[in-house]
Structure 1
Amino acid sequence: MFVDRQRIDLLNRLIDARVDLAAYVQLRKAKGYMSVSESNHLRDNFFKLNRELHDKSLG
């Protein structure tokens, strides 16, 4: 049961990452660039997700 909960949590995080990427693509198409704060926010979220995936794969 714990594994199922982890899987659901991971899938939700991946969905959130996909939404962030879609927003990034829309901004790039609309503005042609991304602000520094938007870029930093996106980068931080992906690094956090990457760390969590890495830690869970080792544990």
Structure 2
Amino acid sequence: ATRIAGTANDWRCSCCGKLLGVRRDGVMHLSFARGHEYLVSLPATATCRRCGTLNQATAPAR
């Protein structure tokens, strides 16, 4: 499998590294199977679909 280089805006699982979302313009973009996509405000919490770890993304300091 080819590994795509991540960016500073990637939100990854703290345990397994799976991509959970991408931070864009102050919101988190989440994309799931079958075309489900969401824009959520920060802070955001998500369970990793690969390993089940609960992850939290915080808003950047102002």
TM range (shorter): under 0.3
Q: Which has the higher contact order (CA 8 A, sep 6+)?
A: 1
Q: Which of the pair has more CA radius of gyration?
A: 1
Structure 1 length normalisation: TM-score?
0.21
Structure 2 length normalisation: TM-score?
0.21
